[in-house]
């Protein structure tokens, strides 16, 4: 990916070459309207590149790594992955990648099945025990599942489980805006229960989490919940085949909508849903 380095005060003095063409950066006065967090920016950010000639953005080719799959169901507490909703964050202080993923801890009727056989079966037939687990990696390819000692599974806490029968569709992100280091990591998720509401947890390290804190939203939540950082935090649910991933009525009605909520502080959020 092409990247240009420059300082905000010298924007007007820069020109650059790209793909045998050139692009002109916007003036310092124009750039003053954009809030820059550092001196490194992508050329595809149209807020800082005013015009281009003989250059074009094109979609590159992607080659699937030969290392796939990166990790598989190789522990007694993870007989089956489905609706994994993985989130990967690089921690520059610990110098590791962190991954949070969902799994099922119980698949009794799938015993002895191959992965292909399990994938050919209907989703509700043999799975249960929804859980969230944690893995780490130094390079993003080779992953380890550390023994966290947090959740008991069949008499032992030697596993990488964070929660069982709890949050669903967890979306984890590292919040560098929060001045409180005890709130560095945040997890947004749907709580299980009659209301299926949207809640969050906070953590200093992404492993040891607070109790669930509900958002003050009068709507049913769903999955997968993701947060995008800007001047505010925007919390978005991914699209699904059946529509959008927020329930606006009872589940029996099968009506979903895609919603966005803006928040300058977790817990103090305003939501908007298209009609």
pLDDT tens-place string over residues 234-275: 555 544 333 334 444 344 455 555 566 566 554 444 444 443
How many angstroms separate the CA atoms of 55 and 51, rounded? 10
Residue whose token pair is 């420059």: 6
Q: What residue segments make up the domains of the chain, in order of their start?
A: 3-53, 87-272
How many angstroms separate the CA atoms of 36 and 6, rounded? 11
How many angstroms separate the CA atoms of 106 and 236, rounded? 29
Contacts of 184 by beta carbon, 8 Å cutoff, 6+ apart: 174, 175, 176, 178, 203, 204, 205, 206
* CA angle (135 as vertex; 241, 234 as ends), nearest 5: 50
**Measured distance between the N- and C-terminal CA atoms of the chain, rounded to whole angstroms:** 38
CA atoms within 13 A on the CB side of 26: 15
pTM for this entry: 0.67
Residue whose token pair is 């005060």: 9
Each residue's pLDDT, cut to its tens digit, for the chain (275 residues) gives 443 333 332 333 333 333 334 444 444 444 445 555 556 667 776 677 777 788 777 888 888 888 888 888 889 888 777 778 899 999 999 999 999 999 888 766 666 666 667 666 654 455 567 889 999 999 999 999 999 999 998 899 999 999 887 777 788 989 888 899 999 999 988 776 656 677 889 999 999 999 988 877 666 666 777 776 654 455 555 443 333 344 443 444 555 555 665 665 544 444 444 43
């Amino acid at each position: 990916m092409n990247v240009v380095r420059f300082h905000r005060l010298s924007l007007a003095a820069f020109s650059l070459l790209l793909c045998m063409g050139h692009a002109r950066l916007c003036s310092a006065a124009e750039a003053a309207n954009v809030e820059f967090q550092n001196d490194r920016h992508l050329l595809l950010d149209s807020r800082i590149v005013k015009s281009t000639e003989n250059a074009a953005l094109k979609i590159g080719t992607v080659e699937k790594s030969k290392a796939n799959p990166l990790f598989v169901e190789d522990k007694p507490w993870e007989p089956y992955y489905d609706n994994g909703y993985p989130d990967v964050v690089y921690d520059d202080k610990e110098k590791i990648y962190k991954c949070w993923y969902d799994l099922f801890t119980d698949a009794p009727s799938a015993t002895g099945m191959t992965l292909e056989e399990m994938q050919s079966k209907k989703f509700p037939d043999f799975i249960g025990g929804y859980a969230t687990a944690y893995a780490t990696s130094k390079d993003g390819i080779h992953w380890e599942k550390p023994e966290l000692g947090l959740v008991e599974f069949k008499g032992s806490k030697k596993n990488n489980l964070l929660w069982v029968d709890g949050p669903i569709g967890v979306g984890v992100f590292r919040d560098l805006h929060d001045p409180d280091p005890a709130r560095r990591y945040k997890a947004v998720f749907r709580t299980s229960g009659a209301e299926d509401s949207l809640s969050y947890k906070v953590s200093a390290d992404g492993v040891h989490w607070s109790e669930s804190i509900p958002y003050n939203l009068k709507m049913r939540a769903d999955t997968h919940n993701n947060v995008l950082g800007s001047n505010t935090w925007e919390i978005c649910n991914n699209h699904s085949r059946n529509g959008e991933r927020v329930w606006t009525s009872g589940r029996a009605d099968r009506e979903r909508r895609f919603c966005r909520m803006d928040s300058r502080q977790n817990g103090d959020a305003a939501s908007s849903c298209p009609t």
